[in-house]
């Protein structure tokens, strides 16, 4: 039997952004009925290659073929019409609209509110990707927004779905369910391109794997023939793969937490704090919580149980409806979505650094001094860019996150609130973020860490707090106890 014609073929694609060569003669073949894992470090060219396929960017040279015919999409609308959809790390939902309205947005014909709700429920039932049709998109956490983005793509009847770091913010059970669905979707004759840094995810679900390094293909093979070690060596090089965080797994090895180092000094104190329940979230119910100097407090939760409200209150971004709250004057906040809450893409790096403490300062900014400060922080935090005047959008995800860390950790804040701080980062960048958080703890800060990756929470935290149905329980660091508390929240 002859091999099926490729669904998507990209041949010798090149792309430059100024002096940066993002893609250098890169080729990729996606077969129907398969999941194709696309791997590489931040800045390797993975997302750029898929943005070209989706019509978000134009190649400088090379050929694209869709279902055997030469094609070139000038916009995502063209790609969607042809049957290609891309769910990016940073979502495109309209925050003020409901889930049903977002899924219907861009469709054809007259809008029917009832029909839109039914469509969401039908898609949720068929895929197992749960979404409340009447929930307002802006109130949803990142994981829930991602599910809505996928449902929105499926509502268009796509044949190829590109998922950019889809499990980066999901709890293990939710990630496993999403990957299982991707496998089923592909087995129906469609295809999935899975951009990921999680090597285990790639090996568990993919049929084919391609690894990019520096915009070039360094490995293209059947996934069954590869291991985490061979993939890591391809991504990082033989000399560095064995030293990237001390592990070739998706989570670098970490030393055991050593407990609070600064005595019992309470830095953040919440007593009887409550947030009124909103549609799709239980809010918070009379929460008492304390974070002390020299400790990392991990927050674990099944998404949508009130953890988002707790994080934003601790970061000083939201006021509770009731209760007493004491926070330090200087707080470093690393939000789960850096593009919405941390950086301004079109501003320069110096301008982004100047945003520290915005709203609490007045007077003129000495831009020469700010440029020098930014340059020093870039060196200290290894932010790689052409200079302090470069727009933030030109940086890779890892360098953008380092920029956020540089700004938020500068000046040794008393409290550091880190919400999904390694979302979408590669092995090297993840290890760097972990080390920065440990350094903040060693300097005497109280660090509050929330992650959908329970392994990350348990590896870093001195103690773990579970948020369940708007209530908070301190459960220590025993994995089974944390898991039971989290499952109880979802019951």
Helix 142-154 / helix 113-127 crossing angle, nearest 10 deg: 100
What's the pLDDT at 489? 39
Burial of 225 (0-12, 13-18, 19+ CB in 10 A): exposed
The residue written with tokens 């499926």 in the block is 154
| Residues 20-59: tens digit of each pLDDT | 788 999 999 999 999 999 998 877 889 899 999 999 999 9
Q: Which residues does 69 contact at the CB level (< 8 Å), separation at least 6?
A: none
2-11, 58-67, 399-408: least confident range: 2-11
d(CA 434, CA 437): 5
Predicted TM-score (pTM) of this structure: 0.66
Instruction: Please state the rounded mean pLDDT for residues 213-234.
Output: 92
Q: Are strands 8-17 and 61-66 parallel, antiparallel or unpaired?
A: antiparallel
E-assigned strands of 52-134? 61-66, 69-70, 84-87
pLDDT of 448 > 50? The answer is yes
Point out the least confidently predicted range of 205-219, 369-383, 426-440: 426-440
Question: Is 50 exceeded by the pLDDT of residue 72?
Answer: yes
d(CA 28, CA 47) in angstroms, rounded, equals 13
pLDDT confidence of residue 449:
96
Residue 129 has pLDDT above 90, yes or no: no
Distance in angstroms (rounded) separating the CA atoms of residues 229 and 218: 14
Q: What is the pLDDT of residue 99?
A: 93
Residue 213: phi and psi, rounded to 5, are -140, 120
Please check the confidence at residue 197 and state whether its pLDDT lies above 60.
yes
Helix (H) or strand (E) holding 145: helix 142-154
As a whole number of angstroms, the distance between CA 208 and CA 193 comes to: 10
Q: How far apart are CA 398 and CA 379, in angstroms?
A: 15
Residue 436 or residue 260, greater confidence? 436
Q: Are 425 and 397 in contact (CB under 8 A)?
A: yes
Residue 482 has a pLDDT of 86
Mean pLDDT of 125-134: 86
Selection from 439, 436, 432, 483 nearest residue 457 by Cα: 483
Residue whose tokens read 């694609």: 13
Q: For position 251, what pLDDT does the model report? A: 41
Q: Tally Cβ neighbours within 10 Å of residue 75.
A: 11
| Nearest in space to 151 (alpha carbons), one of 163, 139, 167, 165 | 163
Q: What pLDDT, on a 0 to 100 scale, did the predictor assign at position 490?
A: 40
In this model, does residue 252 exceed pLDDT 50? no
Residue 239, pLDDT score: 54
* φ and ψ of 472, to 5 deg: -115, 135
Name residue 212's beta-bridge partners.
Answer: 217
Instruction: Please give the average per-residue pLDDT across 182-199, as a whole number.
Output: 91
Average pLDDT for residues 233-256, to the nearest whole number?
Answer: 53
Q: What pLDDT shows up at residue 283?
A: 84
* Contact of 407 with 151, CB cutoff 8 Å: no
pLDDT number for residue 267: 94
340-395 pLDDT per residue, tens: 788 998 999 999 999 987 766 778 889 999 999 999 999 988 888 889 999 998 88
Kindly indicate the confidence band of residue 120, based on its pLDDT and cuts at 50, 70 and 90: very high
Band (pLDDT 50/70/90 cuts) for residue 325 is: very high
| Distance of alpha carbon 91 from alpha carbon 79, whole angstroms | 17
């Amino acid at each position: 039997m002859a091999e099926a014609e490729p669904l998507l073929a990209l041949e010798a694609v090149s792309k430059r952004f100024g002096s940066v060569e993002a893609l250098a003669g890169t080729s990729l073949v996606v077969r129907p009925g398969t999941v194709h894992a696309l791997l590489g470090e931040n800045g390797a060219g993975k997302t750029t290659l898929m943005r070209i396929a989706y019509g978000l960017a134009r190649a400088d040279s090379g050929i694209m073929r869709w279902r055997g015919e030469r094609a070139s999409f000038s916009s995502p609308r063209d790609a969607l019409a042809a049957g290609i959809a891309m769910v990016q790390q940073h979502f495109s939902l309209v925050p003020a609209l409901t889930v049903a309205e977002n899924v219907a947005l861009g469709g054809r014909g007259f809008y029917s509110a009832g029909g839109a709700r039914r469509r969401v429920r039908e898609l949720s039932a068929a895929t197992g990707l749960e979404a409340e049709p009447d929930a307002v998109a802006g109130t949803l956490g990142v994981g829930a927004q991602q599910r809505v983005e996928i449902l929105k793509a499926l509502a268009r009847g796509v044949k190829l779905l590109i998922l950019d770091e889809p499990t980066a913010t999901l709890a293990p059970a939710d990630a496993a369910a999403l990957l299982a669905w991707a496998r089923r979707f592909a087995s129906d004759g469609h295809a999935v391109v899975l951009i990921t840094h999680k090597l285990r995810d790639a090996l568990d679900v993919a049929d084919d794997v391609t690894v990019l390094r520096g915009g070039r293909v360094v490995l293209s093979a059947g996934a069954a023939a590869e291991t985490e070690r061979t993939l890591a060596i391809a991504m990082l090089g033989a000399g560095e793969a064995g030293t990237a965080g001390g592990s070739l797994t998706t989570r670098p090895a970490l030393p055991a937490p050593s407990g609070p180092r600064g005595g019992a000094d309470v830095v953040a104190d919440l007593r009887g704090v409550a947030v009124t329940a909103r549609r799709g979230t239980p809010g918070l119910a009379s929460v008492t919580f304390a974070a002390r100097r020299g400790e990392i407090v991990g927050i674990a939760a099944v998404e949508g149980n009130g953890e988002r409200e707790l994080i934003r209150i601790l970061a000083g971004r939201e006021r509770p409806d009731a209760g007493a709250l004491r926070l330090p004057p200087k707080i470093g906040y690393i939000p789960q979505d850096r593009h919405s809450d941390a950086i301004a893409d079109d501003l320069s790096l110096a301008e982004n650094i100047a945003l520290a403490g915005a709203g609490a300062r007045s007077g003129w900014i000495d831009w020469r001094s700010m440029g020098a400060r930014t340059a020093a922080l870039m060196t200290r935090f290894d932010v790689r860019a052409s200079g302090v005047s470069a727009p933030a959008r030109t940086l890779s995800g890892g360098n953008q996150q380092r920029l956020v860390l540089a700004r938020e950790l500068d000046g040794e804040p008393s409290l550091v609130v880190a919400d999904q701080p390694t979302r979408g980062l590669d092995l090297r960048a993840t290890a760097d973020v972990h080390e920065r958080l440990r350094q903040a703890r060693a300097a005497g800060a109280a660090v509050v860490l929330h992650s959908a990756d329970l392994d990350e929470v348990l590896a870093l935290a001195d103690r773990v707090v579970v948020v369940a149905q708007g209530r908070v329980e301190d459960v220590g660091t025993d994995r089974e106890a944390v898991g039971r508390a989290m499952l109880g929240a979802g019951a």
